[in-house]
């Protein structure tokens, strides 16, 4: 099951999870992130107390600010960290910049794209000129009526 970013954050913030699987995953992740460091060393790294780390390792769930600190330490976005604790994947949108996409286009496709752009611009200019001509004719007619 995949979740959108907003859904993950809302689910965590509004319905602070208390199911056993979430707590077990979270406790394991804290132990994994702590590694060989003592609870006190790890607590200082995160700016929390040693009893806080002990509580997390025993199933207590931190507030969102501390989730963000843990996610940063884990080098992921908070919503990805939370989704992992739920045992789910999160849908992330990664879009390649348009410049990079254009650079990768084969020459024929690039030529076609440029041709389409030229035709589009030509059409816009033509329409604009017709509008100008029409406006000039309207002004001319009004001046002739006077």
User: Quick check: 49 pLDDT over 60?
Assistant: yes
101-143 confidence digits (pLDDT tens): 778 888 888 888 888 888 888 877 776 666 565 666 666 666 7
- Three-class DSSP category at 56: helix
pLDDT at 12: 55
> Hey, which residues does 89 pair with through a beta bridge?
2
Across the chain, mean pLDDT equals 78
7-29 confidence digits (pLDDT tens): 655 555 544 556 778 888 889 98
Q: Biggest alpha carbon distance in the chain?
A: 95
Nearest Cα to Cα of residue 8 among 83, 91, 62, 63 = 83
């Amino acid at each position: 099951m995949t979740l959108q970013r907003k859904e993950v954050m809302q689910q965590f913030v509004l319905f602070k999870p208390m199911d056993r699987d979430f707590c077990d995953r979270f406790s394991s992740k804290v132990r994994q992130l702590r590694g060989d460091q003592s609870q006190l060393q790890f607590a200082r790294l995160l700016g929390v107390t040693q009893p806080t780390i002990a509580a997390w390792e025993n199933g207590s769930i931190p507030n969102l600010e501390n989730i963000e600190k843990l996610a940063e330490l884990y080098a992921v976005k908070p919503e990805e960290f939370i989704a992992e604790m739920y045992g789910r994947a999160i849908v992330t949108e990664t879009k390649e910049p348009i410049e990079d996409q254009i650079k990768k286009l084969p020459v024929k496709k690039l030529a076609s794209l440029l041709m389409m752009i030229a035709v589009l611009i030509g059409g816009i200019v033509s329409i604009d000129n017709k509008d100008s001509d029409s406006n000039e004719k309207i002004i001319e007619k009004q001046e002739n009526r006077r």
